[in-house]
Structure 1
Amino acid sequence: MSLDGHARTRGLSRFLPSRADYSGLRQSWRTDVLAGITVGIVALPLALAFGVSSGVGAEAGLITAIVAGLVAAVMGGSHVQVSGPTGAMVVVLAPVVAVHGTGSVALVSLLAGLLVCALGISGLGRAVAFIPWPVVEGFTLGIAAIIFLQQVPLATGTAGIPGHNTLLAAIEAASGAAAPTVLLTLALVAGVAVVMVLVQKLFRALPASLIAVLLTTAAAEVLRLDVPRIGALPHSLAAPSVPAVDVASLGSLAMPAVAIACLAAIESLLSARVAAGLAGPDGTPSGAYSPDRELTGQGLASIAAGLFGGMPATGAIARTAVNVRSGAKTRLSAVVHAAVLLGIVYLAAGLVSRIPLAALGGVLMVTAVRMVSRRTVAAILRSTHSDAAVFVLTAIITVAFDLIVAIQIGLAAAAFFTLRKFASLSAVEREEISGPAIDGDEHIAVFRLDGAMFFGAAERVLQEISQVKDIQVAIIRLSQLRMLDATGAHALVEVISALELRGITVLLKGVQPDHLALVTNVGVIRSLRHHKHLFSDLPAAIEHARSHVRRNAASASA
């Protein structure tokens, strides 16, 4: 095999499963299995609800949780990520279903999955590393708030309103709650919370959420509580098939597929990144992940879900958080989660249908609260005003609008504050000529540019230098300039041209090698009166400036 062939093989191998994916399995398999069972039970009502809310149907949501959850667990880049249908995806899918019908979802899943795979293979998964910490933590806080608010209908025994803003839906659900149902469901939620907290403190090795669900379900059965339950489940899964491709509608589905692919990529990567920092019951974080492999794994998961008649999938932070908090260490837990859901469909649909929805809501409410680190929030709020503002803004936008808008606005705000910080660090200082002064030095001005000369600071630097008066020669020192872009170089051209038009000779000193090509291409060197007005050391530039002053004085006296 050629060197190129070996390189391609090594490059593809990073997207494939390996033995390293299950390192430590001998020590953690018990907690992995228990975590998978817990997540499977928690994921069940969510999968059904998201399928119904999107308009595709409960079965499609369940298929996605099983098929996509299994494929992403094996092929994805995170050891603890749990994938499936999510609330954010429902918001994008609902209009597609309304316009193109339920049959279009499988095709959209295939198209979006192919796009997400392409993003991963192209290496764009690493771009998530450029998302600032305050944006990630603000996103996490917002997601935690959404997860908590999404459980209000379950906690109050009311029916949620699909498509409504999460906060408004929670308020409507709370206002529509009626006794005695709301008292019973709130008691179940409180019971779940108490059991989870006590088990977590007293028996850290046990799956607190699973025990809480089992105990509250048993209590509801013994006391014959009249509360909403999971209800009837589908008893079979559809066989895989390639969805029909309608060339006429393919063009109209392209843009929704792109939007879904972007959402799947961003949500999955952020979920994996958040999960990497979450600590399990033993207090240790879940560890690193491969962003590019995560994208290819999520893309393959959506493709597989589409073939089975499901919907696009993403990494689900709620289920992932439950997985980590339950002690998961390897991919086995996510595989077990998919197996549990599959087993429930065929073996235990009747038993699981008796679980109170309020119990599951309580598990997710406790999980949402635990997702937020008070120490992290306090650290960000105590950092800088700009970082605190980005953190709060991202969290608010996540709750008020949606995840994509929150990420966009958070990144834009972070970029704005960063550029403003860079601009504030940029300065132009007028220096005194070192050494003994001689006649004519008052007609020479030495300016030192510091920091960055880029589009955010160029205009201010231009104004400060252009306002100088009563000089014949201006020396502009560039040796302390750390950053220069095309706008900054163009501003230098304008400064030099403006000064030269006023009869002021401009000398440049200390153009850095990294900037030489830029200032040459933009025309900075051409704007000088003479190509020899470019110097590498200050004494030579000062001596040349003095020669110009002496020459001007001689011309004036002649």
Structure 2
Amino acid sequence: MNLRSLLPAASDYRGLRRTWRVDLLAGVTVGIVALPLALAFGVSSGAGAESGLVTAIIAGFVAAVFGGSHVQVSGPTGAMVVVLAPILAMHGAGALAAICLLSGVIVIAAGMLRLGRTVGYIPWPVIEGFTLGIAVIIFLQQVPTATGTKPGESTNALIAAVQSAAAASWPKLGWSLLLVGIVVVVMLASLKLHPRFPGSLLAIVIASLFAAIAGLPVDTIGALPVGLPAPTLPSLDAATLMSLIGPAFAVAALAAIESLLSIRVASTLADTGAYDADRELVGQGLASLAAGLFGGMPATGAIARTAVNVRAGARTRLASVAHAVLLLLIALVGASVVAHIPLAALAGVLMVTAARMISPRTARVVLRSTRADAIVFILTAIITVSVDLIYAVLIGVVVAGFFALRQLAKTSGVHREELPGPARAGDERIAVFRLEGALFFGAAERMLERIAALREIEVVVIRMSQLQILDATGAQVITELITSLERRGMTVLVKGIPPQHRMLAERVGVLASLRHQNHLFDDLAAAVVHARSHIDRTAA
């Protein structure tokens, strides 16, 4: 294992002399966009606004230095909030540091085991269904804050949102919804002005000023400590660790999936250089470890902020580092100002963010592609909202794999062929079958039923030269077929086992099931001559 490839190198900053100005500008742009999101995600997760800001600073800096992408921006994300909120609700805020440390170690181990490329096996409909489900949950999670009520008792986002809305009362409900409306209008209007305009920050400023001047009775973030808290190690016992292993694996899985998806998306937006998926996992794991020591949340690569970084012209890691430094300066000098931001305004920011995560065009494309893809897309979204994000991905991949195997099985076939050359007496007692396509566990039985039903045949020639895919199940079915036909008095000849399948055929017993070793041929003409000789001997 080459550990050096997973560590920072001077090549990470190649071209910095040429791009440092645009990198700094991109970092400032991302920092402005990230500030309200970091505060909002911290509040929404139950860890608090300070935890969200600390994560954006610490994890953003560590992942920028140690991660596998030149332009990835890391910090708290909506998907992580969806997983983390119920964990903290069940185990308490005291479990946050332990979750960070445990999940960080798991993600680092995944990177060192070179598991980074596994995200490429997640089908597109699963990713889009997963994204749609996350967007819905993020929106529903903001209902309590947007209505000025406490979160509902249910762990299901939809039921909890209904419970919170039912408990709302005037006039607090009206003022909270007014602030949400102001944020939504300002953010939508800013999008029309310029896509890169930091509308969320402007919306927060306007809503906060209005609430302060009007003296609205709404909840605010509250006092924040100046700067960063001192790093501390959590006190853990064996019982606590065992109870958090399962949640930590869920957090780690999400952190890995979202981070790897983010750098893959970034690579399609601009030519920002190659990325290392395994190093990215190591970097994100270290970022979660560091954030946990300072009271932060588990970190992931943030797709939206990474996209802003790329579109702002970022080319090196300096942009992501600058984004973290800017947020640190805000924590040092602007904590007293941030304390007066209304929580309802942050809820409005996340509601707009959730709505923007849903692409109607993408949904239409997936739904109109194939029935299988549409089913996978809808199923993944429903399970994400109603059950769990990780289960949604796993079930989505399994269902997509089932449909893919079924489609692959349809491309396979078994065809009876005429014997080559002029017909001879006795040829009607010889059957030549050509296997083609894929002979695996999903198609083997169906393909070979036709051969097994033979009657009044003395010699069967099985052509395997056009068999592209063969697994152990397929090889075992062929073995059982040969044995069955031989037991019924037929002679089986096998022609043309492809070289890539020869070893499997030997190990499973295809060759051993033949009556004689001379019943394996490389040429069809020779096999037919041998078959006719059997018929001649029987006739004699």
Identify whether the pair has TM-score above 0.5, normalized to the shorter chain.
yes
CA contact (8 A) 1:228 1:356 kept: yes
Provide the rounded CA distance (Å) in 1 between the counterparts of 2:386 and 2:111: 30
- Cα distance, 1:423 vs. partner? 1.6
Does 2:169 match 1:195? no
Deviations 1:493-517 (A, max 9, x none): 0000000000111111111010111
1:220-299 equivalences in 2 (<5 Å): 220-235=211-226, 237-244=228-235, 246=237, 254=245, 257-273=248-264, 289-299=275-285
The one-letter amino acid of 1:116's match is V
Query: Which deviates further from its counterpart, 379-388 or 179-188?
Result: 179-188
In structure 2, what is the equivalent of residue 87 of structure 1?
Answer: 81
1:406–1:233: structure 2 CA closer, same or farther, 3 Å change rule?
same
Give, as a single letter, the amino acid of the residue that structure 2 aligns with 1:188. L
Map of 2:138 onto structure 1: 147
2:25 aligned partner: 30
How far has the Cα of 1:302 moved from its partner? 1.8
**8 Å contact from structure 1 (residues 69, 84) kept in 2:** no
Q: Tell me how far apart the structure 2 counterparts of residues 259 and 276 of structure 1 sit (CA, whole Å).
A: 26
Q: How big is the shift at 1:468?
A: 1.0
Q: Which residue of 1 aligns with 2:503?
A: 517
Unaligned runs of 5+ in 1: 1-6
CA distance in 2, matches of 1:424, 1:313: 43
CA distance in 1, matches of 2:513, 2:449: 18
Instruction: Render the CA deviation track for 1:179-213: whole Å, top value 9, x for unaligned.
Output: 34333333333333332233222334532222222
Q: Is the 8 A contact 1:15 1:293 kept in 2?
A: no
| Secondary structure at 2:433 match in 1 | strand
1:72 corresponds to which residue? 63
> How is 1:117-156 mapped onto 2 (pairs within 5 angstroms)?
117-156=108-147
Pairwise CA distance, 1:125: 0.8
Give the C-alpha shift of residue 408 in structure 1: 0.7
Q: Which moved more, 1:411-420 or 1:9-18?
A: 9-18
SS in 2 for 1:525: coil
1:552 maps to amino acid: T
My pick for the range that moved more, 28-37 or 433-442, is 28-37
C-alpha distance in 2, partners of 1:487/1:196?
57
Matched, 1:366 2:352: yes
Tell me how far 1:304 sits from its aligned partner.
1.3
8 A contact 1:41–1:341 mirrored in 2: no
Q: Distance in 2 between matches of 1:73 and 1:189?
A: 33
Deviates more, 1:336-345 or 1:347-356: 336-345
Q: For 1:302-356, what per-residue CA distance to the aligned partner results, in whole angstroms no more than 9, with x for missing partners?
A: 2212333444333355766776788877655544554454344443222112222
User: CA shift at 1:527, angstroms?
Assistant: 0.6
C-alpha displacement of 1:392: 1.1
Q: Does 1:465 align with 2:465?
A: no
> Which amino acid in structure 2 is aligned with residue 84 of structure 1?
P
> What is the alpha-carbon distance in structure 2 between the residues aligned to residue 110 and residue 32 of structure 1?
27
Indicate the larger mover: 356-365 or 383-392: 356-365
**Aligned equivalent of 1:4:** none
Residue 422 of structure 1: how far off its partner (Å): 1.5
Relative to structure 1, the CA distance from residue 493 to residue 446 in structure 2 (aligned partners, 3 Å threshold; closer, same or farther) is: same
Amino acid at match of 2:29: L
Unaligned runs of 5+ in 2: none
Q: Which residue pairs with 2:298 in the alignment? A: 312
CA shift, 1:294, in A, is 1.7
Match of 2:361 in 1: 375
**How high is the TM-score relative to the length of structure 2?**
0.89
How far apart in 2 are the matches of 1:62 and 1:237? 9
**Secondary structure of 2:383's aligned partner:** helix
Query: Matched residues in 1 for 2:168 and 2:63: separation?
Result: 38
TM-score normalised to structure 1 length = 0.86
| Post-superposition offset of 1:74 | 2.6
- For residue 225 of structure 1, give the secondary structure of its aligned residue in structure 2: coil
The answer as to whether partners of 1:134 and 1:380 remain within 8 angstroms in 2 is yes
Tell me the secondary structure at the aligned position of residue 517 of structure 2: coil
CA RMSD of aligned residues (A): 3.1
Query: Equivalents in 2 of 1:235, 1:371: separation in Å?
Result: 33
Match of 1:417 in 2: 403
SS of corresponding position for 1:428: strand
Which residue identity does 1:348 align to in structure 2? G
The CA deviation at 1:24 is 4.1
Q: Sort the Cα spacing of 1:518 and 1:499 in 2 relative to 1 into closer, same or farther, 3 A.
A: same
Partner of 1:113: 104
Code of the residue aligned with 2:504 in structure 1: it is: L
Is the contact between residue 76 and residue 296 of structure 1 (CA under 8 Å) also seen in structure 2? yes
Matched, 1:354 2:340: yes
Q: Deviations over 1:226-284 (max 9, x none)?
A: 3332223234643224445656765665555444433432343344445656x6xxxx7
* Secondary structure, aligned partner of 1:478: strand
Aligned residues, how many? 536
Counterparts in 2 of 1:330 and 1:210: CA distance versus 1, 3 Å: farther
**Quick one: distance in 2 between partners of 1:496 and 1:306?**
62
Task: Decide whether the 8 Å contact of 2:153 with 2:163 is kept in 1.
Answer: no
Q: Distance in 1 between matches of 2:34 and 2:138?
A: 15
1:498-513 map, 5 Å: 498-513=484-499
Q: Which amino acid aligns with 1:213?
A: I
Aligned residues: percent identity? 53
